Chains A and B, each alone.
Chain A
Amino acid sequence: MMMDFHAQHIVRLALVSLAAMAVATCSVDQGIEPQVGVPAIRGTITFEGDPPANTHWVVVVASRDFPPSDVVQLALSQSARLNFNAGSADYEIKVPSLGSYAAIAVVWKAIDEPVIWSDVLGLYGASFTGGISFPDTVHVTADAPVVEDVDVTADFSAVDRGAVLGGRITYEGNWPDNTELMGIAAYRTRPENLLEFFRPAALNISLPTQVDEFDYRLATPPGTYEYTVVLWLGRGASVFDFKEIGFYETSPGSGEPAEVTVALGDTVADVDITVDLGLAK
């Protein structure tokens, strides 16, 4: 009974103190405040090469991170469609929030095909020849909400896929229940970093799942490919979680990537790949 009496007073004291603190501490902060000036990134795109006949549109997108992990943010940070038949085009992206944008990319879309990350014509500040360099970050701040002169060179040859790689993918093992996507990608050289990994020459991430084998056809630019690889993505995972679960080998089980060359207008149909589904975790 005496314990109840003391405890009751402690509870009362604590509650009254807490109530007074709560009222006192929520006095001045207004929470979200207005941000003046509509933030934007502007610049000029210079096109190189001829646009492929199946070109649907070309836009510029701004990504908060690189490689991009937030597809939604990409969809909301786009310029209007560019006039890609002119030698160059000015653009403006009204970005949804202030902050740093790790990549400004020129994105190409084929008619009746989804956009995938191999469809990038150019990245602001990035170089793919004469040594790899990552894209430059653009900072959009309250003091400078509009960033000008973010110019990019866009090379249509990256998506001029006039050749075809094909073959049979044979799946070994059991399909994981959480399989979300299966894809196949062709790289001119085996990627050694994220920038290279996210810039395949050709990519298809709509392969069927839950099958024992599948005959694929992958449209690519003509040239030589040192690494043709099958990719797996688990349900709910981000694009960073793609797993390489099989590649085109010099001989089955050799573990050595095989090179394949395809000419413009040709199809190489024997790029067969055996996939170990046990690696899909």
Chain B
Amino acid sequence: MKSLREAFGRRTVVLWTCLSLLPIQVASADENLLQGVVVDAASGQRMAGANVQILGTVLATISDLQGEFIVARVPPGLHQIRISMIGYREHLVDVDLPHSGQIRVALVKASISLNPVVVTADRRAIPLEESSTSVTVLGEAQISDRTNLRLDEALEMVPGVYFMEDDINIRGATGYRANTGNRVMLLLDGVPLITSDTGGISWDIIPLHEVERVEVVKGAGSALWGSGAIGGVVNVITRRPSQRGLLSVRSAAGMYDDPSESEWIWTGRTLHYERLDVGYSKAYGPTGIRIAASRYASTGDRQDGDFNKWTVSGKISRHFADASELEFYAAWLRDHSSVFLQWRSPFVPDSTDGSAASAPAQLFHPLLSQDQGNVLKVAWVNTYLKYSRSLSAQSHLRVRASLLRSMLGNQFDRGGEFSPAHGPGVEVQLDWLPRTNHFISAGVDGKVHRVEGRFFDGSHTEVALGAFVQDEWRIRHNLRLTAGLRFDQHDLDDQEAYRQASPRLGLNFRPTSSLSLRASAGRAFRVPTTAERSMSFKTGNFQVISSDHLDAERAWSYEAGARQTLGDNSYVDAAIFQNDYRDFVEPLVDLAQTASRIVVRFQNVNDARIRGVELATGTRLWRQRLHVDAGLTFLDSEDLQLKRPLAYRPRWTLQMNPSLHLGRVSSRLDYRYTSRIQQVSVFSGDQRVAQHELNARAQVQWVGLSFTAGVNNVLNYNYTQLERNLGDIRNFVIGVNGAF
């Protein structure tokens, strides 16, 4: 048994020890409670979920369902309180404790979310306009208004974000990796939600109608979040338990149209999908609970496109008299999905050709007959326990423990064999204000990845340790410099350890109240996952073999951007960025072993560069009845050795989202354009087209319920994101949401 020092090195242990001994000011007895209530200025209705920050301290909270908030340990004297909420103008109020008593804050609606609070970019709550990196926030309305069935459908409308199947790309970082080694870190309430075996993401385990907001941080995030955040961070923030009993129901059902071409009709059955989410939330004194369950099932629009998914999740939170908070969350997912690797052929047999008629050739049948009926079975358990406490007005402590257990199995060869992967982790973070113009966040985290199974050539253990520190220096009232450094060490089986230092520097300058300039540079890395190193299986004419040794990917990321708000109704955001990658890990065809079967293994390939420009804008017209949001991204990606574009990176993406709001009735169009993919990995000879996707929605509010009807892929446009996999054909959806 190795000692901690032997396992992780002397320097790491010293660093951990130093961080744990950072000075903490102990709360004094004469500190006070700040109590208040947040209401809508127009209606007087109390508002839940408003961010309340006491400026010049680390103290902050969120209003409960009754709109009330309490902050403990506030030092006596004058304080400025900032109250903010998505969809409302930020409000500043001065209080004098202990004389102010309970305060009442009336927030005025803003027609557009110009400056929401974000927590992911700097590991603490700051206004968006003070961030030194590009961040996009999706609010609850933007998620629920579209009858999205999964969170990734909502994320597709974020400028700079696109998906290749389940793989999320922020500014082209990931490409297509079959959910193996994502380059984007997915967090749920700040806790990593990445599997220990494949480094994959399941969008299904996220309880969609429990999501309060989503923050998308673009650019390298390793300086704060470690390995895996090389291409950005997505943080999904779920709601807190409600104060009063609240039953929420969200349902949607849809039906697929026929394919656009009569030659492609492959079944007389009605193809459909449905999703039902039910949740209940209530507070019992200082203890709040929230439970939710969902079922999402579909026949799919192709043979072997069907799936059945169940999710159950729950959250318990408890506030203590000293303003500390304990939160426990658990979620379980069961996913049985049929497997459709690729279509059989794009060619339709000519009825006059007798020999061809014996070979059915359609886009909606899988290539290999032996794949038919194979079901991929996935079972996940995700849980975390978080504790936070303000030690004083100048210091705040957060501790969390988490466990993600994922089981992956299929029936390609034999049924019922599962490969469990366990990822227990811990994290401690301390926020500290040594001076009024310095905000220091420091912490340590550790995670153990245990993977076993026949897909991975036996058992594997990876121990990941990280320590980070970041100082936000407010040089002037409108100028912030952020400097951070993180050190990571990953010990894998008997291999030499991966070690990485990830520095980051960020600058935010606000020359006027409506203009925010930002710039940042940072180093990032990603340690190859167990799947990339050790996965080994074969199916049909594909075989994946393990790799002898893979180095960690490394990147330098640079960005500069500006955000200009134009009155209360419009904004423009522009950014230029460049990411320089070294030792990119990509699945490549093994030339020496490919013969009648395509043999693939992960390899460190070439250095790569992705640079581009991103524009985002939004406006509200006609007394805020007409909303138009748009995003445009240009990507220039290059494999620097082969002098060609990286695979699966479109050069242009455009999102355009006009919506009309007339009292209780609203309608919206979501248009998305993705230029033809320049480079693919496998079937380069196949026909490829640009992607036009137009979705339409109409919504009516009636007796507390929201009824939605819509059409996805209105044009019934045929495209492939991934070779030989047609995108969803036109489908019609209806939905009902309500809370009682």
Give A residues with C-beta under 8 Å from B. Answer: 4-5, 7-8, 11-12, 14-16, 18-19, 22-23, 26-27, 29-40, 59, 64, 70-73, 75-76, 78, 94, 96-97, 99, 109, 114-115, 145-146, 180-181, 205-206, 233-239
Contacts and interface: CB of A to CB of B under 8 A. Distances in A.
Contact of A31 (B263, B572, B598, B689): B689
B348 A233 contact: no
Interface residues of B, number: 69
Given A26-B715, A76-B541, A37 B566 contact: no
B369 interface: no
Nearest to B621: A12
Interface of B: 260-261, 263-264, 345-350, 353, 356, 359, 361, 514, 541, 564, 566-567, 569-570, 572, 586, 588-589, 591-598, 603-606, 617-619, 621, 628, 630, 639, 641-642, 654, 656, 658, 669, 671, 673, 682-687, 689, 691-692, 694, 715-720, 726
A237 B606 CA distance: 9
Nearest to B356: A38
Given A29-B715, A30-B261, A236-B639, 14 more contacts: A14-B617, A15-B628, A15-B630, A16-B621, A16-B658, A19-B658, A19-B671, A33-B718, A36-B263, A64-B685, A72-B598, A75-B594, A97-B685, A236-B606
Contacts of B686: 96-97
A82 to B, nearest CB: 13
A238 B570 contact: no
A263 to B, nearest CB: 30
Contacts of B359: 38, 94
The 7 A-B pairs of least Cβ separation, nearest first, read A236-B605, A31-B718, A8-B566, A37-B350, A15-B628, A32-B718, A115-B595
Contacts of B726: 32
A230 B507 CA distance: 53
Given A22-B654, A26-B692, A236-B642, A37 B592 contact: no
A180 B682 CA distance: 19
Contacts, number: 180
A15 B621 CA distance: 11
A13 B361 CA distance: 48
Contact of B619 (A11, A35, A73): A11
A5 to B, nearest CB: 7
A77 to B, nearest CB: 9
Nearest to B717: A31
A11 to B, nearest CB: 5
Contact of B717 (A11, A30, A75, A76): A30
A97 B343 CA distance: 13
A206 B566 contact: no
Contacts of A26: 671, 673, 692, 694, 715, 717
Nearest to B690: A31
A8 B694 contact: no
Nearest to B261: A34
Contacts of A29: 692, 715, 717
A99 B658 CA distance: 41
Given A23-B671, A75-B598, A38 B656 contact: no
Contact of A23 (B541, B588, B669): B669
A236 B694 contact: no
10 contacts: A8-B566, A15-B617, A19-B669, A26-B717, A30-B717, A32-B689, A34-B348, A71-B591, A76-B598, A239-B591
A26 B694 CA distance: 8
A109 B694 CA distance: 50
Contact of B603 (A15, A23, A34, A235): A235
B683 A75 contact: no
Contacts of A34: 261, 263-264, 346-348
Contacts of B569: 8
B572 A37 contact: no
Contacts of B263: 34, 36
A19 B591 contact: no
Nearest to B694: A26
Contacts of B572: 7, 11
B596 A75 contact: yes
A71 B717 CA distance: 31
Contacts of A97: 346, 683, 685-687
B605 A235 contact: yes
A32 B567 contact: no
Contacts of A94: 345, 359
Contacts of B591: 71, 180-181, 205, 233, 239
Scoring A7, A29, A236 by chain B CB atoms within 10 A of each residue's CB, the highest score goes to A236
A249 B514 CA distance: 74
Nearest to B605: A236
Contact of B715 (A27, A76, A96): A27
A149 to B, nearest CB: 15
B718 A237 contact: no
